[in-house]
Structure 1
């Protein structure tokens, strides 16, 4: 598809130019353009031009400025960066070219790409003079056509859509209810004052609640963790912590029996709670805090630790009053699950009275719907019922964006941001709208404010395709099966992966078939490419005009 142009003139051209005293026309054979055809990358059409001035062409008093031009079939002309060359007798700072020997040079240029430039050729134009006299040198066509596959991201990103603000619905959620019982120094009996504290009351109430709501609450087990503070000998504290465990376990069994629930009890104890001690000291403002922490790091033997700390008489008094009493305790933990509505129950409740569903249940329900119209209806109902929650408004913006209604999408995004000015998905979707129009810098700015957005990697993948960072884009899409993911792999020349991704897309569309055709064409399978291309055009006839000008299929024409 790409042909390298020969840099030397034909024998006839050389003879004509060398025998003529005037500067004549240059031939395409004097130039090699890489790549040829040209190819879009990062919203640009870059090119490297290697050229040759033939022997006895550049007159000693001549100055020639070469300006690349990209000329489209519709008459649009864009100019690239030019370069100036001078003859041997010209006093200047441009590259000097020998009259007798000629010379070689390299130019780099780039053009801003727009969608109306798909059918374009590159020409070199010349502004030349000998002394003060202007010389006419005809423009030369040096590259034919542009491969614009990287620009397909503007279409492929519509398959995965924008960033949906997620629900946090979980039918089964793991929960904990914890109580703390404190003991007096060297004692293991339960005091009534402790059994009346709020955490213990709530612990008992939760056991009763679980018994009353067997369908909505599922008791898994109860944990008991008993502790002794670290002062005193290990043997004594080991017995003391064990007694506290047994006392606490007896109390829990009694309360479970009274509440009418049954479950396993996982009981254990810690004889000397040095870890808890270190955390409390670290969080405290006691006078010798740093010294105590240093002792803990220097000495691993419990008895040595205790002795070193006791030696700090003032510091130990602060520990005895403020830290150690907090460590003489038992933790009672109920591990249970909350059981939410089933999919069918949510659907039935929605039909009966949607107002009795939570916003997360409604947003979850939308994910169960098959058609965009059904999803949109649920989002509208959610926005109506929970008008302070940005998520439904953001998701309505996505629906509008996917349908090509940018005005409505922007209006919903504005409403979402009115509810939450930092809504990350809203910023990501503004970035995608900008990206669709090729406004890469604007898109990047929006996405920088979307750090925690759901599906941000998909959006960043499209951004990196637009920027020409194909390897990074492929990494962004590594957990995605979408048209854009396949496009990134194709542009990164990972054709096997692109083919596999296309085969995994849940809802393949016309662009999916078109990308299949591109992969097949690049692998040299023109029969498969034509079959997929026909399939793509049958799904979306508007692709026919694009395909007609797509140089990826040049070998099929």
Structure 2
């Protein structure tokens, strides 16, 4: 960094008998300003000014107020003043020795406005010796302002608003269950249970005959209750499986239905026993459940439970009979409309589509006008769902119609106040207006939105937290992500991001030119800036005063582009 010692103060040596000594004009050789070229960070323009008072300069009775002033054509902004006093002045300001001189540091900050892009930092002085005011000319100490961070308002146009996704499923898995019950130690399917089997068969036929349904398989699971010997229960469960399978297979053959039938049996249904007990109001059920957790051997479990004589009869009457069964399960799929059918109906008769199908229809086209027409139909047919309004707002945002987008997003929130997508999108709108507080508030309510990290990246840029912004963007390929990487000086990643943006615009090219300037790649600067200006002529004026390109202000190719 160039070292500039700027005399904050000219010689203030005044003889005790006279206060009329003439003060000379100050030089800029006694100051250092960091950064040398001022830069906007988080909406502020910070600067640190280090000054030195030479020996025998500061009059012992002098008081000097120093004020940083950022000047531009048509305006100025004043920073925080600092006051210094001579050794014989009574006061609480920093005292400066006449004989030794002294150094000081001033920190100041200005609220950024676009006019500052072409500005200069001056120090203004107000000096008094006793009652006499001494005029000291202002001194220029730095140039400013690099305003690349403020481009987030423009790069937001490439941000990805959150979408209210559909829940459309072309194939929905369903099942239908029934149970055939058996008497204790019996495996024959009784006449009363044949009615259950017949009703199950009718459901199988209905599914088989439906044009939009397809049978996956039929499961038969047979069980015995966990009382009695293991060998007896094994044979009993297996027999129940076989008898049930015969009944079902016979019915399928009669109805001419081809379906895969999977069978299995379980000798002692301890899992079912535990479930039924835990849901019951049986006395001492906690004791029974404790027995089940303590013992794994089936015979020991059965004996311990029988020892609880106070409840065993209740178990035998209410729980065990429910475990003597064969469970029938029909697994099938409901097959939704094809993409072609959905797209056609969305265009011709949207009333035949449910909400999820209609929202899904919008994903089948890349035509923004068609998407808008579909979402309008969804909003009309299903006005109590926020997603269509949110997605209409997304389309408006992507078209640069922020006021229209904001209106749709607020409509979405009026339907569902905690809708994460609409909150996130209103956060983007707030950022586009420079309202960081409102943006943070909206984004704080957007948990669950897939695009939230990207939106937070934009907020972090606005807040001047560039490393956090880079981390939040991750592998997102947008202008804002590249901007964060440039500001964080991760130039390799920025180059990869800019070259990977799907639809590069004028600001993509402009950022590439900035990257070229920061990496001393003159060909990148010229070619990218030429492309940017060809897409957006207003960028020529921006480049003409953009201190990112200060080294090119005398370059013939650069001047030809911005003229």
TM value normalised by structure 1: 0.83
Structure 1 gap segments, 5+ residues each:
none
Structure 2 gap segments, 5+ residues each:
16-20, 554-563
User: Could you say which residue in structure 1 is the equivalent of 2:103?
Assistant: 104
CA apart distance, 1:250: 4.7
Deviations 1:404-463 (A, max 9, x none): 333323332333233333332222222111110111111111122222335333322222
Cα pair 2:8 2:31 within 8 Å, conserved: no
CA apart distance, 1:531: 0.9
User: Could you say which residue in structure 2 is the equivalent of 1:352?
Assistant: 348
User: Could you say which residue in structure 2 is the equivalent of 1:17?
Assistant: 11
User: Could you say which residue in structure 2 is the equivalent of 1:363?
Assistant: 359
Deviations 1:219-274 (A, max 9, x none): 44444555556666666555555555545555554555456544544544555555
User: Could you say which residue in structure 2 is the equivalent of 1:208?
Assistant: 205
User: Could you say which residue in structure 2 is the equivalent of 1:517?
Assistant: 513
1:546 aligns with 2:533: no
CA apart distance, 1:539: 1.5
Is the alpha carbon distance of 1:295 and 1:347 closer, same or farther for their aligned partners in structure 2, counting shifts above 3 Å?
Answer: same
Larger-Rg structure: 2
Cα pair 1:211 1:259 within 8 Å, conserved: no
CA apart distance, 1:552: 2.2
Cα pair 1:177 1:206 within 8 Å, conserved: no
User: Could you say which residue in structure 1 is the equivalent of 2:438?
Assistant: 442
CA apart distance, 1:308: 5.6
User: Could you say which residue in structure 2 is the equivalent of 1:42?
Assistant: 42
CA apart distance, 1:34: 2.3
Deviates more, 1:523-532 or 1:380-389: 380-389
User: Could you say which residue in structure 1 is the equivalent of 2:482?
Assistant: 486
User: Could you say which residue in structure 2 is the equivalent of 1:176?
Assistant: 174
Q: Secondary structure at the match of 2:11?
A: helix
Cα pair 1:18 1:55 within 8 Å, conserved: no
Cα pair 2:8 2:30 within 8 Å, conserved: no
TM value normalised by structure 2: 0.82
**Number of equivalences:** 546
Q: Secondary structure at the match of 1:29?
A: coil
Q: Distance in 2 between matches of 1:523 and 1:148?
A: 18
Deviates more, 1:270-279 or 1:485-494: 270-279
Q: Distance in 1 between matches of 2:186 and 2:53?
A: 101
User: Could you say which residue in structure 2 is the equivalent of 1:505?
Assistant: 501
CA apart distance, 1:116: 3.9
Deviates more, 1:280-289 or 1:115-124: 280-289
User: Could you say which residue in structure 1 is the equivalent of 2:409?
Assistant: 413
Q: Secondary structure at the match of 1:28?
A: coil
User: Could you say which residue in structure 1 is the equivalent of 2:145?
Assistant: 146
Cα pair 1:164 1:398 within 8 Å, conserved: yes
CA apart distance, 1:486: 2.5
Is the alpha carbon distance of 1:131 and 1:356 closer, same or farther for their aligned partners in structure 2, counting shifts above 3 Å?
Answer: same
Q: Distance in 2 between matches of 1:38 and 1:482?
A: 26
Q: Distance in 1 between matches of 2:281 and 2:126?
A: 80
Is the alpha carbon distance of 1:58 and 1:261 closer, same or farther for their aligned partners in structure 2, counting shifts above 3 Å?
Answer: farther
Q: Distance in 1 between matches of 2:146 and 2:452?
A: 28
RMSD over equivalenced CA pairs, Å: 3.7
CA apart distance, 1:537: 1.6
Q: Distance in 1 between matches of 2:191 and 2:29?
A: 101
User: Could you say which residue in structure 1 is the equivalent of 2:83?
Assistant: 84
Q: Distance in 1 between matches of 2:454 and 2:437?
A: 17
CA apart distance, 1:179: 1.2
User: Could you say which residue in structure 2 is the equivalent of 1:8?
Assistant: 5
Deviations 1:299-334 (A, max 9, x none): 555556666665555576776677666666555444
Q: Distance in 2 between matches of 1:209 and 1:365?
A: 29
Q: Distance in 2 between matches of 1:70 and 1:15?
A: 19
1:57 aligns with 2:57: yes
User: Could you say which residue in structure 2 is the equivalent of 1:121?
Assistant: 120
Is the alpha carbon distance of 1:348 and 1:70 closer, same or farther for their aligned partners in structure 2, counting shifts above 3 Å?
Answer: same
CA apart distance, 1:61: 3.4
Cα pair 1:166 1:454 within 8 Å, conserved: no
